[in-house]
Each structure stands twice: as structure tokens, then as C-alpha cells.
């Protein structure tokens, strides 16, 4: 069964920011859908999508577009004040940092279908220590790890799970490096659907896996990598009645757009110069880029920030695609990195990502395992922390500064995609000094010693604790912490 895109326009949702003339063209009574699918390859428009969310004509990915939407049909000033007003509302949809921006999202047939966990509403933090390290005085982190299941996936999942429920799906499914599965399982549970998770055996963190189990997913650990899981899922959705919730599903990217919308609202609609985001399967960068382009078109922002994507050296398909093939064909790789969330060698949304990087004037860069570990410890020392995949942003920023692509007097936002608690093994191994021994990175990793804070095992006596405290105090004077502050 094709998945229907037909949906009535709800006037309360869609029209406040639109001039009256446009309302006539897009009224709910006319039973027009408020979105259609468009193929990113051949531009074919369709009101329904096949189960695998690929173009029936050329097999490329689909994106969502609004046939009633053009730049003059939404009033930027009205939208800004409407969205601000909703921050004082206790209505369920207004409490979601995704559905608060529903004018720029596909609208389901009924609000009752919406599956929400109050996602979004994530903080924008200043990063004083990282500012000192990098010399970038206006440096911020948009922390998507503060979402209900601890990662940016929730923003997209609320929208895609809503449309899965509207399509009366009994089963939803995804392949995942961990965060998608945690998020999908949670939203499926809230929406009364069953979830099937395909994850690479031994290659995802226990904390992500445990989330999926607790939220009731049927969890299959496959003896392959993420790319193998995704390949299998794509075949599965053609054979079995399961609704696929990977970021190939364009509803996911619509929800993830709100990260950028909320970010710009937090900047009072004055765009930063750079937004830096980790790249794995490349759905998130594609979604942020789509949002930026739409906001420019509507007039919500006067200019585009440059969107740059950072990958791990061992999972650098997009870097190589841009360097070796000028973004024209995918150069896939056999992925290997301890930042397991982005251990992806064959990214599905590479074409979408190439388009938005080029449209915004951004770049793609890669960072080493040691650079990732260092940046993660530095973000931890800020008192906020993140998972390894998110830390590529700070490591990448340092490279982009060296290349003078980013200037120290510019405003920079790092998108932190996952919570520190998502990968405790990495953190423990780092602080205990167990992350790099017997690896090719061992020597380079010695420079990280001042950032390590291993636990100390002591006899349970007051003397032992006081002595340890005094030692820490006296070594403080000698030790110069690379973060530039007292330890």
C-alpha cells in the first residue's frame, strides 16, 4: 500500500502567517494536501510515496514540499510573533519545540494523530572554555542532546511517527547506530505502534541499545555494520508491511528542520556566520540546510549562515565525495571510528547534503580519533558534555580556523547532537587512559593526559580523602590545563 500524503489544511495551523489572498487558494474545504513529495533527482511530484520512500521513476530520494507555499505566501513578521506567543501557551502542540513551528511542517489530518514527547526546546549554550581554546569569542552550542531520548533524532521522529500513525502502521522500523532506534522505539511506544530495530551487533553503545529495549522494541543485532542494516531494511520495507523511519523518510527531515528554526529564533533572527554539524547518514545536515534556505526564502532571515559538515577520518564518505568527485557521485568507504553514531560509510542523504553545503557556502572536513576525544573532553569540561560524534564539531572548528575558513571574530554554532550519557564506555575509557593503547593513535593520545580525570580508589578513611584533596590542590599550581582554566 502506498502511504498517502493527502491531508487537509487546518486553517488554525497554516494561515496566521499568510496573507488573505493566499488563504483562498489553500483552504481546507478544497481537500488539498499541504505537502507533496518531490524527487531530488528528476523532480517528479507525487501525492503518495512508496514504502521505501524512493522515487518510482528514478529511485532517488524524496523531499517534502508545499504546493501552496511560495515566498510571498507566508508573512515573516506574523510568523515570528505567533511562534513567540506560543511559548506562553500550555497547549500540547505549543509545548513541543517542533510543532510550535508547524506552519513550516507537513500537517497531519488531525491533531489527535500527533505523537509528541515535548521534543525540541533545546538550549543554546555559550562555550567560554572552548572560546578561550579556539579564540572564537562568539561560540555557542545548540545542544540537541537535551531532547527527551537524548539526541536530535526526536525532532524528526515526532513528525515521522505522526505520519506513520496516520497511515495506520502497525509496525515501524529502522536501521540505526543507536540514537534513531532509541528515539523511534520511544515514539512508537507513545503512538501505540510496534517497533523493529536493526542495529550492527557490537557496534552501538549499550546505553542506546538499552533505551530501545526499555521502550519495547523488537531489537535485532545483525552481524554487519550500519550500512548492511540499512540495505537490509530497504529490502524489508518492500516485502513486509513495516513503515520505515530512517532519515530516508522525508518526514524525519521536516521535523529536524526545526533545530535551525529554533536556533535562529534564539538569535533573534540574526544569523550566525557558521553552523557546524556532524555528518553520518547526512539527514541532519540536509534538514538544517533545507530549513535555512526556506527561512531565507520566506524572509525570516536576511542571509544564510554557512553550513559545514564534519566527519570522522575513518568514516569520511562525504569528505571524499566532495574532494575526489566534486560532489557528483558518492565515494563510499568502509567505516571505522569510536564515534559509533557516525560509523557510516554509505550515507543515504549525501546528495541532499552536497546541495545544501554548496548552497550555503559551507565546507566538509574530517577529524582524527584523538581530535574527537580531545574535543569531547573539552566540551565535558564546559559542564555540558556530549557524545563522541557531537564532539567532531569542536574538533572540526579548530581545523576550519587553521584553514582561515572560519575567522575568530565570526559567530559560530556547534550542533551537539547527542547527550554525554549516550556513550559512557567511551568516556570511562578516555578518563582511565584505556581508549588508545595498542592503537595507531597511542602516541598522539599522550597529549590528552591533562584532560583525563580518572576515578581514584581509596580506603574509606577521612585521612585518605583529605590527602587526595591536598595532592589535587598542590598539583593544580604546577599543572596547566589545556582548557586554560584552573583544574
Residues contributing to the site for ligand F0G (CB under 6 A): 151, 176-180, 247, 278-285, 341-342, 387, 389-390, 417-418
Nearer to ligand F0G, 129 or 339 (CB): 339
CA dihedral 405, 407, 412, 414 (to 10 degrees): 50
CB of residue 340 to ligand F0G, shortest distance in Å = 9
CB of residue 280 to ligand F0G, shortest distance in Å = 3
| Residue closest to 178 by CA, chosen among 352, 425, 422, 484 | 422
Q: Is 83 exposed, middle or buried (CB count within 10 Å of its CB: 0-12, 13-18, 19+)?
A: buried
CA–CA separation, 171 and 113 (whole Å): 16
| Residue closest to 308 by CA, chosen among 413, 416, 153 | 413
CB of residue 428 to ligand F0G, shortest distance in Å = 18
CA–CA separation, 286 and 295 (whole Å): 14
CA–CA separation, 10 and 109 (whole Å): 8
CA–CA separation, 395 and 263 (whole Å): 21
CB of residue 342 to ligand F0G, shortest distance in Å = 5
CB of residue 97 to ligand F0G, shortest distance in Å = 18
CB of residue 282 to ligand F0G, shortest distance in Å = 5
Nearer to ligand F0G, 229 or 296 (CB): 229
Provide CB contacts within 8 A for 174, sequence distance 6+: 180, 181, 184, 195, 196, 197, 198, 233, 244, 245, 246
CA–CA separation, 204 and 151 (whole Å): 14
Nearer to ligand F0G, 158 or 281 (CB): 281
Nearer to ligand F0G, 106 or 418 (CB): 418
DSSP output for 367-381: E-HHHHHHHHHHHHT
Nearer to ligand F0G, 34 or 177 (CB): 177
Beta-strand pair 138-143/411-416: parallel
| Residue closest to 260 by CA, chosen among 286, 227, 240 | 286
Q: Are 388 and 339 in contact (CB under 8 A)?
A: yes
CB of residue 143 to ligand F0G, shortest distance in Å = 11
Nearer to ligand F0G, 261 or 386 (CB): 386
Nearer to ligand F0G, 14 or 355 (CB): 355
CB of residue 79 to ligand F0G, shortest distance in Å = 26
Nearer to ligand F0G, 103 or 371 (CB): 371
DSSP output for 240-294: SSEEE-STTSHHHHHHHHHHHHHHHHHTTT---SEEEEE-SSSHHHHHHHHHHHH
Q: Are 443 and 167 in contact (CB under 8 A)?
A: no
Nearer to ligand F0G, 51 or 247 (CB): 247
CB of residue 350 to ligand F0G, shortest distance in Å = 10
CB of residue 186 to ligand F0G, shortest distance in Å = 13
DSSP output for 417-462: -B-GGG-HHHHHHHHHT-SSTTSTTHHHHGGGGGG--------S-H
Nearer to ligand F0G, 169 or 176 (CB): 176
- The continuous run of DSSP H or E covering 131 comes out as helix 128-134
CA–CA separation, 38 and 48 (whole Å): 10
CA–CA separation, 287 and 281 (whole Å): 12
Cell reading at 65? 514540499
Nearer to ligand F0G, 296 or 420 (CB): 420
Nearer to ligand F0G, 79 or 394 (CB): 394
Cell reading at 235? 529490502
CB of residue 145 to ligand F0G, shortest distance in Å = 8
| Residue closest to 455 by CA, chosen among 433, 474, 439, 431 | 431
Nearer to ligand F0G, 279 or 396 (CB): 279
CB of residue 432 to ligand F0G, shortest distance in Å = 23
Amino acid at each position: 500500500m502506498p502511504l498517502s500524503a493527502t491531508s487537509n489544511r487546518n486553517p488554525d495551523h497554516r494561515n496566521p502567517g499568510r496573507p488573505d489572498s493566499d488563504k483562498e487558494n489553500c483552504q481546507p474545504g478544497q481537500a488539498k494536501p499541504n505537502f507533496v513529495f518531490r524527487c531530488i533527482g528528476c523532480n517528479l511530484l507525487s501525492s503518495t510515496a512508496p514504502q521505501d520512500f524512493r522515487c518510482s521513476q528514478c529511485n532517488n530520494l524524496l523531499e517534502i514540499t508545499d504546493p501552496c507555499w511560495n515566498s510571498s505566501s507566508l508573512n515573516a513578521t506574523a510568523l515570528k510573533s505567533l511562534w513567540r506567543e506560543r511559548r506562553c501557551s500550555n497547549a500540547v502542540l505549543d509545548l513541543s519545540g517542533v510543532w510550535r513551528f508547524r506552519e513550516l511542517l507537513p500537517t497531519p489530518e488531525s491533531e489527535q494523530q500527533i505523537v509528541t514527547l515535548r521534543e525540541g526546546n533545546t538550549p543554546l549554550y555559550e562555550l567560554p572554555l572552548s572560546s578561550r581554546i579556539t579564540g572564537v569569542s562568539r561560540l555557542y552550542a545548540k545542544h540537541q542532546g537535551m531532547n527527551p531520548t537524548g539526541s536530535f533524532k526526536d525532532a524528526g521522529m515526532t513528525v515521522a511517527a505522526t505520519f506513520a500513525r496516520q497511515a495506520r502502521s502497525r509496525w515501524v522500523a529502522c536501521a540505526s547506530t543507536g540514537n534513531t532506534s532509541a528515539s523511534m522505539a520511544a515514539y512508537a511506544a507513545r503512538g501505540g505502534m510496534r517497533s523493529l530495530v536493526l542495529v550492527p551487533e557490537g557496534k552501538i553503545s549499550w546505553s542506546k541499545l538499552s533505551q530501545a529495549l526499555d521502550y519495547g522494541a523488537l531489537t535485532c543485532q545483525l552481524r554487519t555494520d550500519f550500512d548492511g542494516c540499512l540495505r537490509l531494511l530497504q529490502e524489508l520495507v518492500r516485502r513486509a508491511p513495516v513503515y520505515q523511519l530512517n532519515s530516508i523518510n522525508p518526514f524525519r527531515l521536516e521535523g529536524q528542520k526545526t533545530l535551525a528554526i529554533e536556533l535562529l529564533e534564539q538569535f533573534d533572527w540574526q544569523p550566525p556566520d557558521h553552523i557546524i554539524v556532524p555528518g553520518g547518514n547526512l539527514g541532519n545536515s540536509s534538514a538544517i540546510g533545507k530549513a535555512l534556505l526556506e527561512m531565507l526564502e520566506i524572509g525570516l532571515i536576511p542571509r544564510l549562515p554557512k553550513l559545514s559538515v564534519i566527519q570522522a577520518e575513518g568514516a569520511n564518505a562525504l569528505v571524499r565525495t566532495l574532494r575526489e568527485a566534486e560532489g557528483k557521485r558518492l565515494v563510499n568507504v568502509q567505516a571505522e571510528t569510536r564515534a559509533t553514531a557516525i560509523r557510516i560509510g554509505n550515507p543515504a542523504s549525501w546528495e541532499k547534503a552536497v546541495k545544501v553545503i554548496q548552497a550555503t557556502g559551507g565546507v566538509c572536513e574530517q577529524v582524527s580519533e584523538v581530535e574527537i576525544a580531545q574535543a569531547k573532553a573539552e566540551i565535558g569540561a564546559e559542564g555540558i558534555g556530549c557524545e563522541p560524534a557531537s564532539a567532531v564539531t569542536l574538533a572540526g572548528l579548530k581545523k576550519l580556523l587553521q584553514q582561515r575558513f572560519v575567522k575568530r571574530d565570526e559567530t559560530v554554532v556547534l550542533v551537539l547532537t547527542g547527550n554525554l550519557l549516550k556513550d559512557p564506555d567511551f568516556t570511562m575509557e578516555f578518563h582511565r587512559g584505556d581508549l588508545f593503547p595498542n592503537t595507531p593513535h597511542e602516541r598522539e593520545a599522550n597529549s590528552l593526559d591533562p584532560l583525563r580525570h580518572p576515578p581514584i580508589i581509596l580506603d574509606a578513611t577521612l585521612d585518605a580523602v583529605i590527602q587526595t584533596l591536598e595532592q589535587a590542590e598542590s598539583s593544580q599550581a604546577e599543572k596547566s590545563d589545556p582548557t586554560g582554566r584552573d583544574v
